[in-house]
Amino acid sequence: MEFLPVKRALLSVTDKSGLVDFAGFLAGNGVELVSTGGTFKILTRAGLPVIQVSTLTGFPEILDGRVKTLHPGIHGGILADKDNPAHLRALEELRLRAFDLVCVNLYDFSGALEKKLDLRATIEEIDIGGPCLLRAAAKNYHSVLVLPSPLFYEEARSLLQAGRLKSPLDFRRKTAAAAFAAVSAYDAMIAAWMREEMEEEIEAELRGPRRAGSNPG
């Protein structure tokens, strides 16, 4: 659709700069807020009405937070094509509701690398649910506005104000491209780190003590 009414938003962010102001703008205009973990706590402390993802899905966060949003109750609401009557019927039959806005940014993996955490601690900084949410919303940009960075909050707010809480298609396409770019750069950073770790392990093995009687020549 050309202009997407924004009535329901999912917010799950690591970089919380500008979050409360933007979420307050949404809530003040009647947008229902759904959120996870730390984002939920910040919005609640700010006095904003927000629904926790686990309440919506009926399933708690598990595995130390590794699984929060990987659920049909979330992704069904993001991936439904609002121009497809069959998709809308499926949501109704399953008692699911569509999301119109997905505001997500990823775990700070580059920060973890700078801290030189050990291997297992670094692995815990690899985001799984966030990239899935971004990819799903970006794929379905005809029906969802995705905001992969606080850098888009002001423009989104301005356009929504001007459009009476309706998001224009060209802006949704722009932010979808940014979301795919963010996920691509994130995956490339992780892949580079894993290659470097593997190369360092191989080099360490090669530098190890030679077995007795080995011939260096």
Model confidence at 15: pLDDT above 80: yes
Domain assignment of residue 106, yes or no: yes
Residue 126 lies in a domain: yes
Helices (H), 65-115: 72-79, 85-93, 109-114
Confidence (pTM) = 0.85
Residue 178 lies in domain: 3-207
Check residues 209 and 133 and name the one with the higher pLDDT: 133
Q: What pLDDT was estimated at residue 202?
A: 59
Residue 212 lies in a domain: no
Percentage above 90 pLDDT, the chain? 63
Total domains, the chain = 1
What's the CATH code of the domain at 171?
A: 3.40.50.1380
Residue 9 resides in a domain? yes
Q: Which residue has the higher pLDDT, 204 or 36?
A: 36
For residue 213, tell me if it sits in a domain. Answer: no
Q: What is the tens place of the pLDDT at every residue in 39-92?
A: 999 999 999 999 999 888 877 777 776 777 778 889 999 999 999 999 999 999
- Look at residue 216 and tell me if it is in a domain: no
What's the pLDDT band for 212 if we cut at 50, 70, 90?
very low
pLDDT above 80 (res 201): no
Q: How confident is the model at residue 200 (pLDDT cuts 50, 70, 90)?
A: low
Q: Please state the φ and ψ torsions of residue 94, each to the nearest 5 degrees.
A: -90, 0
Question: Is residue 65 included in any domain, yes or no?
Answer: yes
Torsion of CA 46, 56, 100, 165, to 10 degrees: -40
Q: Using the predicted structure, report yes or no on whether residue 175 has a pLDDT greater than 90.
A: yes
Helix count (H) and strand count (E) of the chain?
10, 7
Say if 11 falls within a structural domain: yes
Phi, psi of 104, deg, nearest 5: -140, 135
Mean pLDDT over 187-196 rounds to 88
C-alpha–C-alpha distance, residues 31 and 33, integer Å:
6
> Taking the alpha carbons of 45, 57, 104, 124 in that order, is the dihedral positive or negative?
positive
Confidence check: pLDDT of 199 > 80: no
Cβ atoms within 10 Å, residue 209: 6
Flag whether pLDDT at 34 surpasses 70.
Answer: yes
Burial class (CB in 10 A: 0-12, 13-18, 19+), 36: buried
